[in-house]
């Protein structure tokens, strides 16, 4: 059943229904902005096909109790192994944007990665949901002083870790947006800036790069001055994984930015086992890009992730029904994950290993 208002969000029966409702509320150009990827969208498609290439290996008559879905990431307890992505321009999808996202995470026992380039200030989001607004996102851009200023704001507002988006030294060429001549209003990205001009100066660097790309040493040295643990988002190779850890990262987000940056690279899921092998069990990993349902979450955990990051799927819930819509996404994911773990004969997420999967051609 499809509802058109926030209060009817609990009536959505499937995640596909939520996606359909979300896209039905957005303009064609805004839908393309959400759904599109870079270049020919090869990487966007690979992200989905990578999940389809893995088939489950069930274990029947296991004697397992009702499966547990609890997890933790960077010391934060999670009822589900889920973080929501730091997508910008959140006010485009719902007026409450990441305020609603954080409240939905708080209600569900999951956690937000709160964006630097969002529609609401990091302080407002933290006040709305202090437990869930646990991780703050930054871009390695601009001056050292400007970078440290926003990181310290996260620290002062009570955030527990920093997420550094490392794979956006410049915006990827997103053909749908170029064809539509579409870029959301800068005000939708400016919640953490005093003026729109300030937001434009800072974030405009992502469109036309005017300064050198930062090295790991600069990033690690600056973050060491603040003392919060940090994760590197956008890691796709073993070499970059080792470099990030050497620079001080406590966790990594294996991600190709949902296929929105460099087209033609492999799927994030395909990179996950290599990166897990490179950093060993001590470094926490989250998997981002291509997650669309509970089966994807289970496959990511089995292949070495400690958690997943929801980007488009979180936006679908937000656009379809605000806080209630995203709560419904989490509720449906919990049901799917619990069902799959039961059918696999696994009692918890910690029971998942690569033995729960086998390579298979997509149906």
Segments making up each domain of the chain, as ranges: 6-359
258 known member of a binding site: no
Q: Would you give the DSSP letter of residue 350? A: G
| Per-residue pLDDT reduced to its tens digit, 260-315 | 999 999 999 999 999 999 999 999 999 999 999 999 999 999 999 999 999 999 99
257 known member of a binding site: yes
pLDDT, position 9: 73
pLDDT, position 197: 72
289 known member of a binding site: yes
How many Å separate Cα 62 from the centre of its chain? 33
pLDDT, position 183: 84
pLDDT, position 96: 98
| Contact between 150 and 86 (Cβ < 8 Å) | no
E strand or H helix that includes residue 301? helix 294-302
Instruction: State the CATH architecture for 6-359.
Output: Alpha-Beta Barrel (3.20)
CA distance 166 to 253: 10
Tally the residues of the chain: 363
**Alpha helices, DSSP H, located in 122-190:** 122-128, 144-156, 175-180
94, 98, 120, 257: the active-site residue: 257
Q: pTM of the full predicted structure?
A: 0.94
Handedness of CA 39, 45, 50, 51 (dihedral sign): positive
86 known member of a binding site: yes
260 known member of a binding site: yes
94 belongs to the catalytic site: no
pLDDT averages per 10-residue partition of the chain, 363 residues: 54 96 97 97 97 96 89 96 97 97 98 96 98 96 92 98 94 94 88 78 64 91 97 98 98 98 97 97 97 98 98 98 97 97 95 95 69
CA distance 237 to 25: 38
311 known member of a binding site: yes
């Amino acid at each position: 059943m499809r509802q058109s208002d926030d209060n009817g969000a609990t009536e959505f029966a499937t995640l596909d229904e939520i996606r359909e409702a979300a896209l039905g509320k957005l303009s064609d150009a805004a839908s393309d902005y959400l759904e599109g990827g870079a270049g020919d969208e090869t990487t966007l498609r690979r992200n989905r096909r990578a999940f389809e290439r893995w088939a489950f290996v069930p274990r029947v008559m296991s004697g397992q109790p009702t499966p547990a879905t609890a997890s933790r990431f960077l010391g934060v307890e999670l009822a589900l192994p889920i973080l929501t992505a730091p997508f910008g321009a959140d006010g485009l999808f719902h007026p409450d944007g990441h305020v609603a996202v954080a409240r939905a995470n708080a209600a569900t026992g999951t956690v937000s990665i709160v964006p630097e380039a969002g529609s609401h200030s990091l302080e407002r989001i933290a006040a709305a949901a202090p437990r869930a607004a646990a991780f703050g996102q930054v871009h390695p851009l601009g001056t050292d002083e400007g970078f440290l200023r926003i990181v310290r704001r996260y620290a002062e507002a009570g955030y527990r870790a920093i997420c550094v988006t490392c794979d956006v030294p410049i915006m990827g060429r997103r053909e749908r947006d170029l064809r539509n001549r579409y870029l959301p209003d800068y005000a939708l990205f400016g919640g953490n800036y005093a003026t729109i001009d300030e937001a434009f100066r800072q974030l405009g660097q992502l469109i036309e790069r005017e300064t050198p790309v930062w090295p790991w040493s600069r990033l690690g040295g600056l973050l060491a001055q603040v003392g919060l643990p940090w994760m590197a988002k956008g890691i796709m190779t073993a070499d970059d994984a080792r470099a990030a850890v050497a620079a001080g990262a406590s966790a990594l987000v294996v991600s190709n930015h949902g296929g929105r940056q460099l087209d033609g690279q492999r799927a994030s899921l395909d990179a996950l086992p290599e990166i897990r092998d490179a950093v060993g069990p001590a470094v926490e990993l989250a998997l981002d890009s291509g997650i669309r349902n509970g089966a994807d979450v289970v496959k990511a955990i089995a292949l070495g992730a400690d958690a997943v990051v929801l980007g488009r799927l979180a936006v679908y819930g937000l656009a379809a029904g605000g806080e209630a819509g995203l709560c419904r996404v989490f509720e449906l994911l919990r049901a799917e994950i619990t069902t799959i773990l039961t059918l696999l004969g696994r009692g918890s997420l910690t029971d998942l290993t690569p033995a729960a999967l086998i390579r298979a051609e997509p149906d």
